[in-house]
């Protein structure tokens, strides 16, 4: 059977704007988001709480209507793509139907779609073979998350959307989950996931979209995003030297110590390492590293003094005139 979405474009979010009313006043959740996701890409959606990630996902899935802009999923609107079985989703909310076995639940969900994946294939892919006959209300938190992932996978979707998928999983469960996602992505599937675990984005995403205050502040491979933050860190073994002395070296912003090891945060690592070796030749075991994703995340999403401008005020006023909040 020919996949009807195979020749269609990927996911397009164009000029998305979404505003809500709240008890504390207007909430402008999304402020003009433009994202293009190609087929077969695995994209991480990152940002602090309130950045607009979940609202963007809701609009991608057709659960919320944008005040401005449009969503296209393989050339279709989200509702049509979901009806065609082209989209699977695992959201933060929702519970499994009680008193069914895992297998019975997957069989029931498969019956909803025109061309579902084979049940045994879904169970194997999600690592559920050993608990396939277990009742859904007897599962641990991590097992429940894996079953929820299987429900999202059963339609064999071309796009899989995951919102904080590894919450409640231990380290081993997270590793197993992402092994499943890698196997699914290897089939040429598109995956979009929101997570607070930055190591997951760094390890598994082809690309990260970083949001803050409803806007995109960075979009690219995590290596590229980390390179946007010019800071570097020098680590060295150097006992007995006062931190104030090290902090005064050229190019050093901050100095810290862990036992005999010193950690120098630098805005000019070349100048700092030259000065360190000139003034403290006993320094050894030197390591120079670029900013990690966490450091880039904090710097790029931090408060930059942003204030709403007239355009945002106009967008909000228009949104209120068109659609009340959910």
Task: Give the single-character DSSP code of 135.
Answer: B
Residue 56's pLDDT is what? 96
In this chain, the answer to whether the domains covering 11-86+157-226 and 231-289 adopt an identical fold is: no
Residue 211's pLDDT is what? 95
**3-state DSSP assignment of residue 52:** coil
Task: Give the single-character DSSP code of 101.
Answer: B
Residue 121's pLDDT is what? 94
Tell me the CATH number of domain 11-86+157-226, given options 3.40.50.720, 3.50.50.60, 2.30.110.10, 3.40.50.300.
Answer: 3.40.50.300
Report mean pLDDT in 10-residue bins for the chain, 326 residues: 56 95 86 95 93 94 95 95 91 89 96 92 93 94 91 95 89 89 92 93 94 94 84 91 94 93 91 95 91 84 51 41 41
Q: Can you give the pTM of this predicted structure?
A: 0.77
- Give whole-number Cα distances, 196 to 174, 175, 199, 201, in Å: 13, 15, 9, 9
C-beta separation of 129 from 136 below 8 A: no
Rounded to the nearest 5 degrees, what angle is found at the Cα of 161, between the Cα atoms of 158 and 162? Answer: 140
CATH of the domain spanning 231-289: 3.30.70
Residue 314's pLDDT is what? 41
- Give whole-number Cα distances, 7 to 4, 10, 144, 309, in Å: 7, 9, 35, 41
C-beta separation of 259 from 236 below 8 A: no
Residue 322's pLDDT is what? 42
Residue spans per domain, the chain: 11-86+157-226, 231-289
Spatial neighbors of 172 by CB under 8 A, at least 6 apart, are: none
C-beta separation of 86 from 157 below 8 A: yes
């Amino acid at each position: 059977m020919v996949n009807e979405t195979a020749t269609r474009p990927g996911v397009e979010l164009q000029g998305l704007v979404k505003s809500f009313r709240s008890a504390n006043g207007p909430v402008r959740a999304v402020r003009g988001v433009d994202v293009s996701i190609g087929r077969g890409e695995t994209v991480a959606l990152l940002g602090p709480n309130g950045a607009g990630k979940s609202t963007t996902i809701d609009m991608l899935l057709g659960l919320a209507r944008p005040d401005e802009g449009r969503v296209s999923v393989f050339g279709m609107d989200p509702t049509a793509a979901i009806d065609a079985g082209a989209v699977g989703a695992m959201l933060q909310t929702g519970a499994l139907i009680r008193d069914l076995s895992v297998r019975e639940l997957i069989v029931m969900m498969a019956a909803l779609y025109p061309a579902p994946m084979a049940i045994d294939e879904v169970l194997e892919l999600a690592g559920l073979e050993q608990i396939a006959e277990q009742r859904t209300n007897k599962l641990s938190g991590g097992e429940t998350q894996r079953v929820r992932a299987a429900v999202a996978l059963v339609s064999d979707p071309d796009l899989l959307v995951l919102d904080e998928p590894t919450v409640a999983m231990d380290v081993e469960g997270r590793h197993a989950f992402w092994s499943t996602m890698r196997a699914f992505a290897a089939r040429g599937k598109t995956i979009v996931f929101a997570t607070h675990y930055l190591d997951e984005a760094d390890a598994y995403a082809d690309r990260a979209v970083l949001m803050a205050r409803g806007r995109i502040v960075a979009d690219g491979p995590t290596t590229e995003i980390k390179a946007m933050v010019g800071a570097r860190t020098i680590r060295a073994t150097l006992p007995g030297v006062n931190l104030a002395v090290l902090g005064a070296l050229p190019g050093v912003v901050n100095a810290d110590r862990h036992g005999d090891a010193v950690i120098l945060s630098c805005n000019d690592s070349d100048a700092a390492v030259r000065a360190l070796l000139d003034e403290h030749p006993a320094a050894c075991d030197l390591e120079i590293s670029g900013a990690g994703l966490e450091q880039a995340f904090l710097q790029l999403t931090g408060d930059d003094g942003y204030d709403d401008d007239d355009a945002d005020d106009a967008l909000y006023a228009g949104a209120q005139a068109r659609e009340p909040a959910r």
